[in-house]
A and B are shown apart, each in its own frame.
Chain A
Amino acid sequence: MFNASLKQLSDQLAEKKISSTELTTEFLKRIKQLNSEYNAFITVNEEMSLDQARSADQMIAAGQASALTGIPIAQKDIFCAKGWLTTCGSKMLSNFVSPYDAGVIERFNQVGAINIGKTNMDEFAMGSSNETSYYGLVKNPWDLSAVPGGSSGGAASAVAARLAPGATGTDTGGSIRQPAALCGISGIKPTYGLVSRYGMIAFASSLDQGGPMARSAEDLALMLNVMVGFDPRDSTSLQRKVEDYARDLQKPLSGLRIGLPKEYFAEGMSKDVECAIEKALDEYRKLGAETVEISLPNASLSIPVYYVLAPAEASSNLSRFDGVRYGHRAKSYSDLGDMYRKSRAEGFGPEVKRRILIGTYVLSHGYYDAYYIKAQKLRRLIAQDFTQAYQQCDIIMGPTTPTVAFNLGEKSGDPIQMYLSDIYTSAANLTGLPAMSIPVGFGNKNRPIGLHIIGNYFMEAQMLNVAHQYQQVTDWHLKSPV
C-alpha cells in the first residue's frame, strides 16, 4: 500500500477497495513507527486526520469524490491550518495554533484530502539542508547520514520514506526542487501567482511559491489541480482559466526543443551528477526531443541577487514575530526594547538571524540603492535571459543541484557553501518561472540525482508531460529507499 502511487491510491478509493479511514490509519501507523528515524513530521494529530478521513469516506459514499478525496497529504509546517500547531520550524512559533486555514489548506479540505501531519522544515524556510529547524534535523531516507535538502526537507523525506503519498512544499530559492532531487522524488514549483500565498508564512513574498511534492509527475498533476487557483485574499494571486494539469501527460515529445544552458553545464557540477543528467538527456533524445545549446549570460548573478532580495523581504516579513501578540515571549525583561530583543534573540535560530541582519543591512539608508535597487535591476536582466532563451527552445533542462545530498553537518558551518546548493534553482524564483525536479538516477554513495526542468510561464502542463513521458520509459521514480 505504501509503495502505491497517489494515483493508484486514488483509484483504489474510487473503486472502494479501501476506505480513507483505513488508508489514513495505515499511514498514521507508519508515521508513528518510523518518524523517529527521519523526523519528517513536527506534528501529527491522529484524531483530526481521522475525522477528516471519516468525512472523506462520506463524500466518497455520496458520490462527491474527486481525485484527492480521502488521500493523505503531508502539509509543510509553513501552511497555517486551523486547530493545528503551525511552527514554521521555529521556536518563535512553538506555541502557535493557527485559528485559520491557509488558501492551500482550504483547497485540500474542500476536496476532502486528509492532512496527515505537519512536516519539518528549515526554520522559516531558510536553509538547504533542513538543519536549521528548531525541531531537529531531518534525515534522508536514502542515507541516514545525508541531508534531505531544504527547506521542504521533511516533506521530501516523508514522501521518499513512504510516510505520505504526496506532500506540499514551498519554494523561495529551490526549497521544493532541491530536497526533491536529494530525496529522489518529484516536485514542482509553479509559476509565481498560481498557488495562493494566503496563510503560507512569508519568507520572501516576491519569491515564495507553494507546490506539490510526490513520487511521479502524474501525482504532481493531480495535486496541482487542487492547489492552483485564484485567491482574492492574495493580491499577487493570478486570475486565470482553470486548467487540468494532467491533460497533456500522454503527449508524445517528438519535436520538443530542449534548451541546455551552457552556463549550467560547466564548472561546479560534479561528475556523477553530470553523468546522470547526460543519460537522462539521451533518454529524451530517444523520445524524439532535440537538444539545443542556449545561453543564460547572467546565470551566475542569481545567487548574489537572491541573497540580497530574499533577506531584504524576510527582514521585514519577520518583524511581526515580536512576542507581543502570539509566539515566543521572553520570560523576563526590563522594558519594551528588552522584551523585543530577548524574545527575538531566543525565538530565532542563527540562520534566521543572519538573514534578518543581511536584509536589514541592504535596506538601510545609504545602502539601499547599492544593494536592493541594483539587485532588482539584475533580476530583470536575469528574466530577459530566459525570455531570449525561450525563442530558441520550448523547455530548459539541467541539474537541479550541483552534487548529490551532502552529509549532515557538512555545510552547516559554511553558509556560502550552503547557499551555493541553490545555484541552479533560484533563477526560477527570481523570474517567477515554473520549474521542477524529477529523479534521474543515483550518484556518489548511491544518493539520488534530480533533473531540473524549467518551463516558460504557465507551461506546467507541458512540463508535467515532459516529466511523465520520461517516467514512462524509466523507473527511477519507482525506486524506494525503504
Chain B
Amino acid sequence: MQWEIVIGLEVHAQLSTRSKIFSGASTAYGAAPNTQACVIDLALPGVLPVLNKGAVERAIKLGLAVGAKINSPSIFARKNYFYPDLPKGYQISQFELPVVQGGSIRIQVNGIEKEIRLTRAHLEEDAGKSLHEDFHGMSGIDLNRAGTPLLEIVSEPDMRSSTEAVTYAKTLHSLVRWIGICDGNMQEGSFRCDANVSVRPLGSEKLGTRCEIKNLNSFRFLEKAIDFEARRQIEIIEEGGTIRQETRLYDANKDETRTMRTKEDANDYRYFPDPDLLPLEIPSMWIDQLKATLPELPEARRSRYISEFGLSAYDAGVLTSTRELADYFESTVKQLPAQAKLCANWIMGEISGQLNKEGIEITDCPVASIQLAALIARISDGTISGKAAKIVFESLWQGELNQDVDAIIETKGLKQISDGGAIEKLVDEVLAANAQQVADYRNGKEKAFNSLIGQIMKATQGKANPAHVNAILKKKLGG
C-alpha cells in the first residue's frame, strides 16, 4: 500500500525583546542561574504580570507578514499545571482568541511552490529549566528563562514529507529573522519545533492518529525524526496495529522517537482567562504603524529579483534566504544594474563558499559589496579574466592593498591583453610556428583549434582576453 505522511508543525519562536513578556527582567542568554529572575519571574506572593508591548508588536509583525488576521481583543489565559520550573503553577498563554489567526506561508520544494496554511500564532511565556545533573540526586532550577516571550506559530497539517516540513521550518525561520522578531538561534533554543505526524493510505481524506514529537532543535533532527516516526507508524499499521495518540521525544543519538506521555496521562490544563491581564485591544492605527515599519518581505523580493533582474527562481530564492544576504546582493547590483546575473553568481559562488568555509555570516563578510561590485565591473569591462578575478577576490578577502581592486590588478599584473593589434601579432607568430596544427584544423580536426588557443594563452601567460583570441584566431584560420 502507498502511504501519505501528514505533518503539521508548532514552532516556538523566542521574541527578541530585551525584557521578559510579563516582567522587566533581562532575557539575555547565558547568565549565571537565577540572576535574571525578578520577584515576578519567581512568582512571589502578590506579584502581577504586566504585558511587554514589544512582544505584542513582534506578534503583530508576524501576523502582517503571513497575511493573518490580528485579533482585537485577544485574550491571555492560564494553562494550569505543576512543575518546579513553572513558578506560578500556571503558564500565561493564549487559548481562545490568540493574537494572530490564520495566514499562510509559501514554500518552494523542487521548484514547485506550495502554500502552508497557519492556524494561529499566540503569545506565551517560557518556563525555566530543571537541571538534574550535578546536584547529588537533587534537582536544580534555573528561572532565568522563565517569562521569556515566545510566539507559538501553529501550522495546519499541510505538509506531506519531511522535506516539505523542513522547507517550511526554514522559510519560517528566515521570515522571523527577516522581520526582526526572533534571532533564530537554534542552539540557544530561540527557534524550536514540535512536529505532529500521522500517516494515511494515499488518497484517503481522513487523517490518521497523530503523534507529537517534541523539542526538535535542528532542521536535521526535524527531518530525521519525521522520517523515523512515519516509518514507525506505517510499520505498526501494516502489522495490523493501531497508532496511539501520544507525545514523543526524539533521541538524536539513537535516531528514534520514544513515548514521553500518552493521551491518558495528559494534563487537564484548566484554561481560563487570566484575570490579572485585561483583554488585549489592538487598535488598527497601531497595526498600520507596524505595517509601515515592515521591510519588503522575502516573497516580494524574490519575485522582484525575477522580474527586475531576470534571475532564475532558484537564484532569487537563494539570495532571499536571509535579509542580510538579499541586502548585500542589492547593494552590489545597485552599482552594476546591468550585471545582476554576474553579481548573483559571485555572491552565491565565491562569497557564499568563502563564508561557509570560514563559518561567518554575510554581515561579517570582509569583502564589502562596493568592492565586489568594483571587481565585477573589471570583469565585465574586460580588464581582467574570470580566472584573474578569483585571484583579485582572494586578495580582497585577505584585505591586501587597502582592498583597492584596481591597485590589486595593477600590482599583480593581472590585466588581460585586449589590444586587438597585439593579440593579432601573437596569433600570427603562433600560427607560423605551428603549421602542422593549422593544417590539421583545416582538415577538420577541431581539437587543433583548442591546442592553438592554448599556445597563444601560454605565450601571454594567460593574460590575453580569451574572447578576443578566439575571435581573431577564427578569423585567421577561416581566411
Contact = CB atoms under 8 A, between A and B. Distances in A.
B26 to A, nearest CB: 18
Interface stretch (A54-62, A199-207, A220-228): A199-207
B370 interface: no
Contacts of A297: none
Given A100-B44, A202-B46, A233-B50, A325 B272 contact: no
A246 interface: no
Interface in A217-257: 232-236
Interface string A162-203: 000000000000000000000000000000000001111110
Nearest to A232: B50
B278 interface: yes
A108 interface: no
A322 B51 CA distance: 25
B272 A100 contact: no
A237 B51 CA distance: 13
B42 interface: yes
Interface of A: 79-80, 86, 88, 93, 96, 98-100, 102, 197-202, 204-206, 232-236, 312-313, 315-316, 318-322, 324-326, 336, 340, 360, 363-365, 368, 372
28 contacts: A80-B44, A80-B46, A86-B45, A96-B45, A102-B46, A197-B46, A198-B46, A201-B46, A202-B46, A205-B276, A235-B48, A235-B277, A235-B278, A312-B272, A315-B270, A316-B89, A318-B89, A319-B89, A320-B89, A322-B84, A324-B87, A325-B43, A325-B87, A340-B82, A363-B80, A363-B270, A364-B268, A365-B270
B78 interface: yes
A363 B275 CA distance: 14
A368 B272 contact: yes
A455 B85 CA distance: 44
Contacts of B50: 232-235
Contacts of A96: 45
Nearest to B276: A205
Given A198-B47, A364-B268, 20 more contacts: A86-B45, A96-B45, A204-B275, A205-B275, A234-B50, A235-B51, A235-B276, A236-B275, A315-B270, A316-B89, A318-B89, A319-B88, A319-B90, A324-B87, A324-B141, A325-B43, A340-B82, A363-B270, A363-B272, A365-B270
Interface residues of B, number: 28
Contacts of B51: 235
Contact of B48 (A99, A197, A372): A197
A204 B87 CA distance: 18
Contacts of B47: 198-199
Contact of B276 (A236, A312, A336, A368): A236
B74 to A, nearest CB: 14
Contacts of A319: 80, 82, 88-90
A329 to B, nearest CB: 12
A204 B78 CA distance: 14
Is chain A's interface secondary structure helix, strand, loop, or mixed overall? Answer: loop
A480 B312 CA distance: 92
B294 interface: no
B149 to A, nearest CB: 16
A205 B278 CA distance: 11
A363 B88 CA distance: 17
A111 B369 CA distance: 62
A233 B82 CA distance: 25
Which of B39, B46, B51 has the most chain A CB within a 10 Å cutoff? B46
A86 B44 CA distance: 11
A322 B89 contact: yes
A236 B48 CA distance: 10
A365 B43 CA distance: 26
A236 B278 contact: yes
Contacts of A198: 46-48
Contacts of A364: 268, 270
Contacts of B84: 322, 324, 336
Nearest to A366: B268
B49 A99 contact: no
Interface string B31-61: 0000000010011111111110000000000
A201 B45 contact: yes
A390 B62 CA distance: 46
Contacts of A316: 78, 80, 89-90, 270, 272
A100 B88 CA distance: 18
A100 B277 CA distance: 22
B328 to A, nearest CB: 43
Contact of A99 (B39, B270, B278): B39
B92 to A, nearest CB: 11
A468 to B, nearest CB: 32
A373 B277 CA distance: 18
Contact of A365 (B42, B45, B46, B268): B268
A236 B90 CA distance: 19
A368 B96 CA distance: 14
B43 to A, nearest CB: 4
A143 to B, nearest CB: 33
B46 A199 contact: yes
Given A316-B80, A320-B88, A364-B270, A325 B46 contact: no
B268 to A, nearest CB: 5
Interface in B97-148: 141
A-B pairs, 6 with minimum CB distance: A319-B89, A205-B275, A363-B270, A206-B275, A199-B46, A320-B43
A105 to B, nearest CB: 10
Contacts of B268: 364-365
Contacts of B42: 325
Contact of B82 (A200, A322, A363, A365): A322
Contacts of A206: 275
A322 B80 CA distance: 13
A199 B39 CA distance: 10
Contacts of B272: 312, 316, 363, 368, 372
Contacts of A321: 45
A86 B48 CA distance: 17
B447 to A, nearest CB: 80
Contacts of A368: 270, 272
Contacts of A322: 82, 84, 89
A197 B46 CA distance: 8
Contacts of A325: 42-43, 87, 141
Contact of A320 (B48, B87, B141, B278): B87
A9 to B, nearest CB: 29
A189 B52 CA distance: 30
Contacts of B44: 80, 98-100, 326
Nearest to B50: A235
Nearest to A319: B89
A313 B272 CA distance: 9
B174 to A, nearest CB: 35
Which of B42, B44, B141, B278 has the most chain A CB within a 10 Å cutoff? B44
Contacts of B141: 324-325
